[in-house]
Structure 1
Amino acid sequence: MQFTDYLSITLKIIVSLSILNVWLVQFNKPTRWRGGDAKTILEEFKVYGLSKTQYYIIGFLKISLALVLLVSIQFQNLTLLGSLGLALLLLGSIAMHLKIKDPLYKSFPAFLFLVMTVVIAILA
């Protein structure tokens, strides 16, 4: 294996586990990164003007694509689906922070993971 293979695997693990952590472990806990004054992900979606249905759809997509990205370590042909799918959702996250005029630091995690997913796609 080459350095780029190790880099890709490392980024896949970081991105996937982080997204799974946010959506499955930390979803009901306040963080400094949440949009507006939201304390939970569901409250954050309300701040953005999104519905509970959109919350469930986006949550399902983020969790599913994070799992696809993890599985792509073994099945390389899934890499673009996982990385570009997550990149699109992360762009949406950044757009929502900008929409409600959050301080820029609140969109930093989404931006950082966007960069990582694009690097994963480029290395694929």
Structure 2
Amino acid sequence: MNLTPISLLQLFTAVSFGYFGISCLVAEYMVVEFERYGLKNFRKINGILQLAGSLFLFIGLGQPVFTVIGAFGLALMMLAGFIVRLKIKDGFIKSSPAFIFMVINLIIGIDALQLSSF
């Protein structure tokens, strides 16, 4: 496998969302955060979707079609997260990690789209 800057970014993102997904499922502070967001019923599904996105990004290192699905799915999730954080008045700085991960996943997804058979 040829590690390009994009594939290294993809690997970083896959590891990050693996961590975030597990945290959503098991960490008590995430229970509190999702209650603060007004989305306590979505915490587990959010964690599962983050783990799925992470898995798709890992698999996508060898099969770009999986990268397209995982990256665009995570980008949509991060857009929603960014909007939720702004809606609860966290402000742009506190909300910026979601925005940054959205942009990163869009970059990864667009690159993979050019490599895949879509």
When the two structures are superposed, what TM-score results if normalisation uses the length of structure 1? 0.79
Q: Which amino acid aligns with 2:39?
A: L
Q: 1:82 to 1:119 in 2, by over 3 A?
A: same
Q: Indicate the percent of aligned positions where both proteins have the same amino acid.
A: 32
8 Å CA contact 2:20, 2:47 repeated in 1: no
Deviations 1:56-81 (A, max 9, x none): 11111111111111110011121110
Q: Which amino acid aligns with 2:97?
A: P
The 5-angstrom pairing of residues 9-28 of structure 1 reads 9-24=7-22, 28=27
- Match status 1:55 vs 2:53: no
Deviations 1:23-51 (A, max 9, x none): 3258637xxxxxxxxxx112111111113
Q: SS where residue 38 of structure 2 aligns?
A: coil
Richer in helix (by share): 2
Q: SS where residue 85 of structure 1 aligns?
A: helix
In 1: Cα distance, 2:48 partner to 2:22 partner: 11
Deviations 1:5-40 (A, max 9, x none): 7122111111111121223258637xxxxxxxxxx1
Question: Residue 46 of structure 1 aligns with which residue?
Answer: 35
The 5-angstrom pairing of residues 105-124 of structure 1 reads 105-124=93-112
Structure 2 counterpart of 1:7, from 5, 8, 13? 5
- Structure 1 residue runs without a partner (length 5+): 30-39
CA RMSD after TM alignment: 2.0
Q: Which amino acid aligns with 2:35?
A: K
Q: SS where residue 45 of structure 2 aligns?
A: helix
